[in-house]
Structure 1
Amino acid sequence: MDLTASFKDAPMTPFQVRAVVICLILIMIDGFDVLVMSFAAPAVSRDWGIEPVLLGYLLSAGLFGMAFGSIFLTPLADRIGRRRLTLICLVVISVGMTWSCVAWDPMSLLASRVLAGIGIGGMIANLSVIVSEYSNRRRAGLAMGIYTAGYPIGATVGGFLSGFLIQEFGWRGAFVLGAAMTVVMLVVCFFLLPESFEYLIEKRDAKSLPQLNRIMARMGREPLSELPPAPVHEGAESVVGEVFGARVRSQTALAWIGYATLIAAFYFANTWTPKILAEASGDPQTGVTAGVLVSLGGIIGAVGFGVVSTWSRPRYVLTTALLLAAVAYVVFASSFDRIGLALVVGVFLGMLTNAGVSGYYTVTPPIYTAKARASGFGWMIGAGRLVSIIAPIMVGYLLAGGMRPTSIFYLFAIPLVLSAVCGFLLGPALRRRDARDARAGRRGTVEVR
């Protein structure tokens, strides 16, 4: 029996929806935990007399940790399970956030931010895999779109709450909120977050069948007398061999290049747009407004991707959104002398790039079997995070070298086009792979095309 295919073709059960909702809440808290330092930065700088250079390191510490966690922590999910890794990451984040609450100097705060970032980086990619595995074929794009929207929603709501807490209790109050929410979700996940059924089929130890049957019962299905046949893995048995082996090498390359080029443009826009527009308008408040509108557009784009992908292939939606995003970058840069138009285009800029992120989150996990899914996806996220650190720094050097902001936006439209091409080419690459699998008598994985 092809159990995975039967789940993918059936309507989603309340049990599956609950698993996705838990992941949504977790990514909302992650969105807050990642950006809480930016909310607290003015107060921290004032209290400790921190210079801009050190403050920049504090703001980047979480991103460094996230890159490390995505690359080195997420792959553990393919060995110890999605659920167990999520619990470990929540413990790491809880310790990091609690440490931030009691940090005694800038170096201790920096270390706590790196630690929290490691847990967040390890969990974000892992949660994406859980959402992908518990969504059926028809609702996969919608589930991933809503899940991806949780990150900017958490950051936006967290920003409002942090403003109140910092005003009333000082900057430590914002970290207390993040620590408390993380600890609460650690308890919730311990009791309610299920293990991946695909991981259990792959693992095949003494506990796999009882755990799988508990999941089957919660989904209203009859228990199994034995585990379904495990997927047949050709070639190298290691996870590294599967991710970079001949069977999926081209898909891995396309996903990595496509996501990295997208995330470079994404983080450039999210980090530099407020400052660039503030200088173009001569009004700092305009820059703040632009940042809020880009974030608002991100929420709309992530949810919009999910809605549209219910009746169109996610890969087509991804490609279209990225091509339109490249156009939006050009139009945005051309409207600096018309601030009202620039603000409107800023909404579309955030909307289309976030739709692209949702797209890659949707189409990438099914490329790999359950054996290597967390590793393959986590490494892609990690590579993107490294680029997310480099891109804003590179822009600083370009501006210092005399390049106009308009030209930089034009420049970053190019990687968006490249990302669109990579996303589109994933389809033919997957079809060629499945054709080879069919000739070899191997069952392909369930794909979102």
Structure 2
Amino acid sequence: MSVSAPDARWSRQAMAIVALCFALNMADGMDLLVLSFIAPTLQTQWSVSATQMAMVFSSGLAGMAAGGLALAPLADRIGRRRMVALAMGLMAAAMALSSMTRSVGELAAVRFFVGVGIGTVLACIASIAARVAPMRHRNFAVGVLQAGYPIGAMLTGFATAWALPLFGWQAILMATAGVSGALVLAVVMLLPADLDADIRAHAAPLREVIAGPRRANTIRLWVAAICGFMALYFITSWITKLAIEAGLPQTQAIIASAIYNFGAFAGTLGMSILGNRTDVRRLASVLLIATSGVFLFFGGVAMPLWGVLATAFVMGVTLQGGFNMLYPLAAQVYPDAVRATGIGWVFGIGRIGAFTGPLLGGWALGMHWPLVAVFGLFCAPLLIAAMAAALVRPQA
């Protein structure tokens, strides 16, 4: 059965494809954010500073930029099914190699290739979901995929809090590699061969993404993604360390980061449902503005454990719930023939913020800034991202 002409109702095949894409995004969340859970242990074992560890975070995020900019656009030519399988295979191999590293330099080099796979998959599955979903459910389909990311991270956080003292960080990285490897087989077996039946014949170059009336929207999306990613990956990379700075022991800090990711899941799911009835630009803007207030509260108010956990949950709801609405917004801007290219470039260019955010946060932490000042540093990017998202004018 062809999936190239979505109608007003969900088909079983379309639901299965979106569910598989959700699982792929869970694996992305596992593979990327597991590093933030084991970072304090690596800092202790390898005697490295927060600034040095930030280089490892940023290496993976630079790889995500390379994947989004260079590999994801090729999916509009060679096929999204094939590209997703290749990217997941690269992630699995690189994760396995990362468990064997012995220094920050080695880990940073391998994490770059983990990032290449993640950046490629993120762009491809968003375009796949937009293609197979009924038109009136497109915002939900593209948005809900992003909820898989924090679920994968949350489950990994709980598993790491239990397994790290028992088995060590190497076993945790190898386990995540196994999950990605299993999903390669799922992609080959479950994604239909006709998914790209009439895409490759009409594949368009990058200039069609930035030409004519789409140019202004593309620039606005790039600005929103850069600034949003700066705040998002500051948090996702350093949430465990930030919770420790807020007064929690390491095990409870890992739990706090898992709670943050549960909030991210709840926010993304809720906003995806609302996205079918409400302008996603408004959802993104309001939540990103609210996040700046949550940042200042988390950094400036002394709280007991339950307060830290509750605020981490709310932060997940507002930050990732708002940012992840940029994915369905981008899917509205670009037509199907260039959607993987358009989305890949939006969130590839956005990685400029993704790999500078952790570096900036690591520098501020290394300078022993007050926690409220560290968080305050990222309020301006949040407000700029909110304004840029509000100015986008969907056309596709």
User: Which bracket does the TM-score occupy, shorter chain normalised?
Assistant: 0.7 to 0.9
Pairs within 5 Å for 1:117-132: 117-132=115-130
In structure 2, C-alpha distance between the alignment counterparts of 1:40 and 1:276, rounded to whole Å: 14
Equivalent residue, structure 1, for 2:152: 154
* C-alpha contact 2:59 2:355 (8 A) present in aligned 1: no
In structure 2, C-alpha distance between the alignment counterparts of 1:191 and 1:75, rounded to whole Å: 23
In structure 2, C-alpha distance between the alignment counterparts of 1:173 and 1:261, rounded to whole Å: 34
In structure 1, C-alpha distance between the alignment counterparts of 2:11 and 2:389, rounded to whole Å: 30
Pairs within 5 Å for 1:282-361: 287-288=253-254, 290-336=256-302, 341=307, 343-361=309-327
2:33 is matched with which residue: 32, 35, 44?
35
* C-alpha contact 1:265 1:416 (8 A) present in aligned 2: yes
Pairs within 5 Å for 1:56-135: 56-103=54-101, 107-135=105-133
* C-alpha contact 2:55 2:359 (8 A) present in aligned 1: no
* C-alpha contact 1:74 1:85 (8 A) present in aligned 2: yes
Residue 21 of structure 1 pairs with residue 19 of structure 2: yes
Pairwise CA distance, 1:85: 0.6
In structure 1, C-alpha distance between the alignment counterparts of 2:57 and 2:160, rounded to whole Å: 16
Residue 377 of structure 1 pairs with residue 343 of structure 2: yes
Gaps of 5+ in 1: 205-229, 231-236, 435-444
Q: CA RMSD in A?
A: 3.0
Equivalent residue, structure 1, for 2:136: 138
Equivalent residue, structure 1, for 2:185: 187
Go from structure 1 to structure 2 and tell me whether the alpha carbon gap of 1:27 and 1:425 turns closer, same or farther (over 3 Å shift).
Answer: same
Indicate the percent of aligned positions where both proteins have the same amino acid: 27
Pairwise CA distance, 1:64: 2.6
Go from structure 1 to structure 2 and tell me whether the alpha carbon gap of 1:402 and 1:86 turns closer, same or farther (over 3 Å shift).
Answer: closer
1:243 is matched with which residue: 179, 203, 209?
209
Pairwise CA distance, 1:83: 0.8
Equivalent residue, structure 1, for 2:356: 390
TM score, norm. by length of structure 2: 0.87
Flag the structure with larger Rg.
Answer: 1
Gaps of 5+ in 2: none
CA deviations over 1:94-126 (Å, ceiling 9, x no partner): 221232344466654443322222112211111
In structure 1, C-alpha distance between the alignment counterparts of 2:359 and 2:39, rounded to whole Å: 19
* C-alpha contact 1:29 1:154 (8 A) present in aligned 2: yes
Go from structure 1 to structure 2 and tell me whether the alpha carbon gap of 1:407 and 1:101 turns closer, same or farther (over 3 Å shift).
Answer: closer
* Matched AA of 1:356: G
Go from structure 1 to structure 2 and tell me whether the alpha carbon gap of 1:154 and 1:196 turns closer, same or farther (over 3 Å shift).
Answer: farther
Pairwise CA distance, 1:135: 1.7
Pairwise CA distance, 1:244: 1.5
Pairwise CA distance, 1:176: 2.4
In structure 2, C-alpha distance between the alignment counterparts of 1:144 and 1:318, rounded to whole Å: 14
What SS class does the counterpart of residue 372 from structure 1 fall into?
helix
In structure 1, C-alpha distance between the alignment counterparts of 2:86 and 2:304, rounded to whole Å: 49
May I ask how many residue pairs the two structures share in their alignment? 393
* Matched AA of 1:123: V
Go from structure 1 to structure 2 and tell me whether the alpha carbon gap of 1:299 and 1:361 turns closer, same or farther (over 3 Å shift).
Answer: same
CA deviations over 1:347-367 (Å, ceiling 9, x no partner): 222111111222001110231
In structure 1, C-alpha distance between the alignment counterparts of 2:211 and 2:109, rounded to whole Å: 37
In structure 2, C-alpha distance between the alignment counterparts of 1:341 and 1:105, rounded to whole Å: 36
Pairwise CA distance, 1:276: 4.5
Q: Greater relative contact order: 1 or 2 (C-alpha under 8 angstroms, separation 6 or more)?
A: 2
Go from structure 1 to structure 2 and tell me whether the alpha carbon gap of 1:282 and 1:361 turns closer, same or farther (over 3 Å shift).
Answer: closer
Pairwise CA distance, 1:315: 2.7
* C-alpha contact 1:278 1:284 (8 A) present in aligned 2: yes
In structure 2, C-alpha distance between the alignment counterparts of 1:71 and 1:200, rounded to whole Å: 23
2:200 is matched with which residue: 184, 199, 203?
203
Equivalent residue, structure 2, for 1:214: none
Go from structure 1 to structure 2 and tell me whether the alpha carbon gap of 1:258 and 1:276 turns closer, same or farther (over 3 Å shift).
Answer: same
In structure 1, C-alpha distance between the alignment counterparts of 2:256 and 2:99, rounded to whole Å: 30
Equivalent residue, structure 2, for 1:424: 390
In structure 2, C-alpha distance between the alignment counterparts of 1:41 and 1:399, rounded to whole Å: 14
